[in-house]
Amino acid sequence: MATGRARAHGAIALAALCALVLFTATALWTQWARQDLDWVQATLSLYLHGPWGLALRSAYCVLAVAIMLLAWSLHAASRSPRRSAAAPLLFWMAACGLMGVAIGDSWLPTHAPLLAPLVHGLAANTAFLCVSVAMLLQSWYLRADPRWSRWAGAAWGWAWLCFVLLWLHVLWRGPPRGAGQKLVIAAVVLWLLAVALQAWRQSRPPAPR
């Protein structure tokens, strides 16, 4: 029974890894393919429209599913005494925000141009704020889990770095907006990739001696 659960969590972690890699590859491709936009100045949301916009919007939804899967798996497999539903709920809210950005930007600008900026801003802010707080909470939970104790300190520090980068991006208007936003996104995705990879490794049976 325990082996079956471990395999299930391993499959979820592997699926999340694949989804995160797909999102990263799609985002990087659009930066190279869209020569009409300055990647330093243009935020990633500007790439949701025009050539390759559908691919990037789909990648947003794939990333949202990866976040949901990973959050559920970490919560269900946790042995931490600090385990609670707060972190997965925040991750799911962030994922819903991501899907709100992707789905809203697909038809709202045409059918409700006055409503589109409000929906986009609300969904994007929800995604950023919820995922940054969820990462901090999840890292704090992992530090009390004996299987994660050696690795969780790095996750905790990286989560704080993402939190600080997010608020620097919000409050400091000096740096280019596009590069600043993409730096925050890259830091968050790297944290998710590292956690998913570690969860997948832990699900594998130990090598025979």
Closest CA to 67 of 132, 157, 114: 132
In a domain, 144, yes or no: yes
pLDDT digits over 54-88, tens only?
Answer: 999 999 999 999 999 999 999 888 887 878 899 99
In a domain, 50, yes or no: yes
CA 173: distance to chain centroid? 24
In a domain, 208, yes or no: no
If you average pLDDT over residues 195-206, what whole number do you get? 82
Closest CA to 23 of 69, 71, 55, 70: 55
Q: Which domain holds residue 167?
A: 2-203
81: number of Cβ within 10 Å: 8
Question: In the predicted model, is pLDDT for residue 206 greater than 60?
Answer: no
How many angstroms separate the CA atoms of 67 and 207, rounded? 29
Which pLDDT score, from 0 to 100, does residue 1 have? 41
pTM: 0.92
pLDDT digits over 119-131, tens only?
Answer: 888 999 999 999 9
In a domain, 69, yes or no: yes
- Highest mean predicted confidence (pLDDT) among 44-48, 80-84, 186-190: 186-190
| Total domains, the chain | 1
